[in-house]
Amino acid sequence: MYEADRALVTRMRASEQRAFDEFFKASAPRLAAFIARRSALDSATLEDIVQSALIKAVRNLASYRGEAALFTWLTEICRHELADAHRKAGRRPAHLSLDEPGSISHDEEQLRAPPNQEPISQLYAATRRTEVMRVLQSLPAHYALALEAKYGDGMSVEAIARELGLTGIATQSVLARAREAFRRRWQETSADPDYGGSAT
């Protein structure tokens, strides 16, 4: 089903530079966006996680069997890296002494929201993103994947179809059903006045 992805990996394993170029161009910016939607990490930490995930991927190309889309496989690696980053941040003490500035580690500072994300509008946007992501995660996985690919990554229906292993028409239908499912769930759970909810 994912012959093109499998062929790409085979070409990469045969040292074909053009295959690596295709892989990197298609994966790196999209993985960064994938992480950005699921965390409030600053750009340096985010870049570190993308780097770790891609390095693990290129070291383990032989383990990609073509059972899922290559990007889906990458996102699984990425989820582990992201979880590790959060775990490391969680191990640090919740309260840090202001008398010991040295105790605030570099990583801790990096995992905090950067100052330019502190204004209320940024906070509102982040909250809304979290709500949208929560609703997406409550939908069937292929609905969430299709909506994120279309509205987050700006992918064409044809590209999404390749990722879902479907035809273009079937993908359009999935997108339509996914939008409808999202609308219903959003209406139920959010206070969005545009959807008839009450603003708080």
Partner 1 sequence: MTDQPRTHLDPDPRVERTLTDALGTQPMSDESLERLRAVVAREWRDAVAAEQPISSRRSRWIALAAAAALAAVAVALWVTRPSAQTAAIGSMTRLAVDGLEVRFGLFQHRRLKSGDPLRVGDRLTTRGPLLITLARGGTLRVAAGSSLNIPGSAELSLESGRIYLDIPPGSSAVNPLRVATSAGVVEHVGTEFEVMSDDRAVRVRVREGRIRFLGTTDTIVADAGTELLASPGKIISQRSIDTYGGDWLWTAALAPDYEIEGRSLIGFLIWVSRELGRPLDFADAHARQVADRTILHGSVRDQTPLDAMSNVLASTSLTYEIRGDTIWVRSGP
Determine, following the binding rule CB under 8 A, whether residue 43 of this chain makes contact with partner 1.
yes
Determine, following the binding rule CB under 8 A, whether residue 58 of this chain makes contact with partner 1.
yes
CA–CA separation, 191 and 20 (whole Å): 45
Provide, rounded to whole angstroms, the least separation between the CB of residue 184 and partner 1.
10
Q: Which of 102, 194, 199, 200 binds partner 1 (CB under 8 A)?
A: 194
The rounded Cα 160 to chain-centroid distance in angstroms is 15
Provide, rounded to whole angstroms, the least separation between the CB of residue 93 and partner 1.
29
Determine, following the binding rule CB under 8 A, whether residue 138 of this chain makes contact with partner 1.
no
Total of chain residues touching partner 1, rule CB under 8 A: 49
Q: Which amino acid is at 117?
A: Q
CA–CA separation, 124 and 169 (whole Å): 36
Question: Which residue, 103 or 173, has its beta carbon nearer to partner 1?
Answer: 173
Determine, following the binding rule CB under 8 A, whether residue 89 of this chain makes contact with partner 1.
no
- Direct distance between the N- and C-terminal alpha carbons of the chain, in angstroms, rounded to an integer: 47
CA–CA separation, 200 and 190 (whole Å): 10
Provide, rounded to whole angstroms, the least separation between the CB of residue 91 and partner 1.
26
Determine, following the binding rule CB under 8 A, whether residue 26 of this chain makes contact with partner 1.
no
Strand spans (E) along 49-148:
none
Question: Which residue, 108 or 131, has its beta carbon nearer to partner 1?
Answer: 131
DSSP states along 124-179: HHHHHHHHHHHHHHHS-HHHHHHHIIIIIS---HHHHHHHHT--HHHHHHHHHHHH
Determine, following the binding rule CB under 8 A, whether residue 128 of this chain makes contact with partner 1.
yes
Spell 143-177 as b/e; 16+ CB within 10 A means b: bbbbbbbbebbebebeebbbbbebeeeebeebbee
Determine, following the binding rule CB under 8 A, whether residue 137 of this chain makes contact with partner 1.
no
Provide, rounded to whole angstroms, the least separation between the CB of residue 197 and partner 1.
10
Question: Which residue, 60 or 97, has its beta carbon nearer to partner 1?
Answer: 60
Going by C-alpha positions, the residue among 34, 19, 48, 4 that lies closest to residue 149 is: 34
Q: By the criterion CB under 8 A, which residues form the site for partner 1?
A: 12-17, 20-21, 24-25, 28-29, 32-33, 36-37, 43, 47, 50-51, 54-55, 58-59, 61-62, 125, 128-129, 131-133, 147-148, 150-152, 172-173, 176, 179-180, 182-183, 186, 192, 194-196
